[in-house]
Amino acid sequence: MNSQTFRVGVMPPSSCSYLPEQEETIAVVLEPDLHSVTGYGWLIQSGFRRSGNTIYRPHCLACTACQSLRVDTAGFTPSKSQKRQIKQLNRLRIELKTELDDGWFDLYDRYITARHQNGSMFPANKDDFQSFVGSAWQRTYYVHIYEEQTLIAIAVTDVVSNGFSAIYSFFDPDHPWSLGSLCVLAQLELAKQNKVPWLYLGFQIDACQAMNYKVKYRPHQRFVAGTWQSAEE
């Protein structure tokens, strides 16, 4: 990856969404030329993420808790519990689509209502969701997971130059299986099938339990001090 300089805008500090005792500052990419499939493919390798059309990463002076994490898809070695989940996944049907199924919003509404009533995405709204996952310059893919003919989960995914990027997932909140984990495993399987080397899972925050699931997928790397570093086993 060649070095390149580019302009960013730094947002004013605000209360951190993940660590209440901290303030967060976000750096947003300003260069129009980098808002493209090629530009984002380069930026995601520098620890950036996408939300809608915005490309960003944390720029907090007093805290380095957020670290981008990516999983080695070819080398992925499931744990005992993940092996059980893979057996569950093998009983389901996975399809990668460029459009959402007609019944997606009912599933999304049930998920948000059951799991995130205190969050910013409640109540569920189609336009808000599309603004969050969609982009004018990056095609959005949707991993659909079916149990027989019933849609039970969707994982929103970007396809970039050297990997898949997990954007968001939602699922049947009443299903007995850990569908959030199955969404990650489904993306790993599709990435491996397509010979895509990395699955980017976003920011790992060790001190935040809700964001701490990513370290369970090994081997993985974290973006620390400007370089990707393999995690110690």
Tell me, yes or no, whether 202 lies in a domain: yes
Tell me, yes or no, whether 207 lies in a domain: yes
pLDDT, tens digit (0-9, with 9 covering 90-100), for 112-137: 999 988 888 899 999 999 999 999 99
For residues 42 and 136, state if they share a domain. Answer: no
> Amino acid letter at 141?
Y
Give me the CATH number covering residue 138.
Answer: 3.40.630.30
Mean pLDDT across the stretch 75-81?
A: 97
Name the pTM for this structure.
0.94
H runs (alpha helix) in 3-64: 37-43
For residues 179 and 124, state if they share a domain. Answer: yes
For residues 48 and 148, state if they share a domain. Answer: no
Confidence of residue 26 (pLDDT cuts 50, 70, 90): very high
Tell me, yes or no, whether 93 lies in a domain: yes
Number of domains in the chain: 2
Q: What number of other Cβ atoms are within 10 A of residue 3's Cβ?
A: 5
Question: Which domain does 30 fall in, by range?
Answer: 8-66
For residues 97 and 28, state if they share a domain. Answer: no
